[in-house]
């Protein structure tokens, strides 16, 4: 009887849960440092080739591919996500092929971005980093071409096999790319975005069944899509051996890991990684800015030296781990899907706000965390 009562505790050490914990944390840490290195590279380019650069740490986002979320976007993003969720719920059969193709294209680009550092390391000894022109398509280095080619091959194999491991690889690329290319400019925008997404997650997981007679979030997340090859084969009236035996595809909007017994899968949506990951990316950039800034105002006199040495990044990362652990325990106890952001948002935001208040940084982080400096900022090494 006691073993049954504590079965949820034993399930936490299952390989699927351990994999979920480790991979999600590694993706957030890696994506945050990739973001920081991108800022470093962009600022170096501005310093060398753009005489009008202001020198602000936050102006390292001069790369047009980097998107900074403002307050209005933070408020309306949960509404846009809700509309997209309803479209997928009601019209999935009509839009699934288009959605699958768009997802495959985005996953290809994102996974190429994930592979790029490895390809740069491999091609560095044998080739200079000169760019090769492809006409109107642009100019690319050998490492970029290699990473894109490998990414295209992986997506094609995923389409042909539908294997969960390849889907996870593509989802990891999407997570890292979104964390690296999207910026939260302040703590105020971070609170607006995460609070809105918490309400969004709770509503669609807990209350959507009362309105739509189905758990909208779970149904959309777990519903497989028709394989584009199969659809193309039917449209062209090809034989049964031409594209008809390909599997349906589970789209890379989540990470799934099988248990050691193979009896079940552990699942975590990429939004539960990316959205807290954006907050972790923000505090990592602030930690680095504060460390490199000159004339930093010390904290309150009663603050211990040990507290001053604790970084916001480590504090928030520990909060993410505790929040993910709490969400996992809750799902095992209640034996039902849980809105992970219900646990992740409080466990990341509240310790961060408390530490910022104790250190005297809350006002600064809330509105204008990055101020222009006369000297160029240096960055942490990865």
For residue 201, indicate whether it is catalytic.
Answer: yes
CB 369 within 8 A of CB 286: yes
Which candidate, 90, 71, 7, 12, places its Cα nearest to that of 325?
Answer: 12
Angle, to 10 degrees, between the axis of helix 164-181 and the axis of helix 142-161? Answer: 140
Task: Give me the catalytic one of 14, 46, 168, 201.
Answer: 201
CB 163 within 8 A of CB 250: no
N-to-C CA span, the chain: 49
Q: Which residues pair with 28 in a beta bridge?
A: none
Using left for φ > 0, alpha for ψ between -120 and 50, and beta otherwise, residue 34 falls in alpha
Task: Give me the catalytic one of 46, 168, 230, 272.
Answer: 272
CB 301 within 8 A of CB 164: no
Which candidate, 219, 209, 221, 322, places its Cα nearest to that of 267?
Answer: 221
Which candidate, 238, 219, 270, 229, places its Cα nearest to that of 101?
Answer: 229
For residue 14, indicate whether it is catalytic.
Answer: no
Map residue 223 onto helix, strand or coil. Answer: coil
Beta strand pairing status for 265-269 and 139-140? unpaired
Q: Which residues pair with 269 in a beta bridge?
A: 254
Task: Kindly report the number of other CB atoms within 10 A of residue 6's CB atom.
Answer: 9
CB 271 within 8 A of CB 339: no
Q: What angle do CA 182, 35, 195 make, to 5 degrees?
A: 40
Task: Kindly report the number of other CB atoms within 10 A of residue 205's CB atom.
Answer: 21
Q: Hey, CA dihedral for 151, 153, 156, 162, is it positive or negative?
A: negative
Q: Which residues are catalytic?
A: 201, 272
């Amino acid at each position: 009887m006691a073993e049954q009562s504590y079965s949820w505790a034993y399930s936490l050490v299952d390989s699927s849960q351990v994999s979920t914990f480790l991979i999600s944390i590694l993706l957030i840490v890696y994506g945050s440092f990739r973001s920081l290195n991108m800022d470093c590279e962009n600022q170096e380019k501005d310093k060398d080739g753009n005489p009008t650069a202001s020198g602000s740490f936050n102006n390292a986002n001069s790369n047009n591919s980097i998107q900074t979320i403002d307050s209005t976007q933070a408020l309306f993003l949960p509404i846009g996500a809700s509309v997209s969720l309803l479209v997928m719920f009601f019209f999935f059969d009509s839009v699934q092929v288009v959605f699958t193709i768009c997802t495959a294209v985005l996953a290809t680009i994102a996974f190429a971005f994930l592979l790029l550092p490895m390809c740069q390391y491999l091609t560095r000894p044998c080739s200079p980093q000169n760019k090769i022109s492809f006409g109107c398509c642009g100019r690319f280095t050998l490492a970029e071409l290699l990473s894109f080619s490998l990414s295209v091959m992986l997506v094609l194999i995923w389409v042909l096999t539908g294997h969960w491991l390849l889907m996870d690889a593509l989802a990891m690329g999407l997570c890292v790319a979104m964390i690296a290319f999207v910026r939260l400019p302040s703590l105020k925008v971070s609170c607006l975005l995460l609070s809105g997404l918490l309400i969004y997650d709770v509503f669609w997981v807990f209350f959507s069944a009362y309105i739509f007679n189905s758990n909208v979030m779970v149904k959309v997340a777990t519903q497989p899509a028709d394989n584009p090859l199969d659809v193309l084969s039917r449209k062209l009236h090809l034989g049964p051996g031409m594209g008809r035996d390909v599997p349906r595809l589970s789209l890379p909007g989540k990470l799934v890991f099988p248990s050691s017994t193979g009896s079940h899968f552990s699942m975590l949506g990429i939004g539960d990684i990316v959205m807290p990951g954006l907050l972790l990316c923000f505090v990592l950039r602030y930690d680095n800015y504060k460390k490199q800034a000159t004339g930093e105002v010390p904290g309150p006199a009663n603050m211990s030296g040990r507290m001053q040495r604790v970084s916001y990044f480590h504090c928030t990362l520990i909060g993410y781990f505790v929040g993910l652990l709490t969400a996992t325990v809750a799902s095992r106890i209640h034996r039902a899907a849980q809105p992970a952001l219900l646990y992740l948002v409080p466990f990341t935001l509240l310790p961060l706000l408390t530490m910022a208040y104790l250190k005297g940084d809350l006002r600064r982080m809330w509105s204008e965390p990055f101020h222009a400096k006369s000297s160029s900022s240096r960055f942490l090494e990865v």
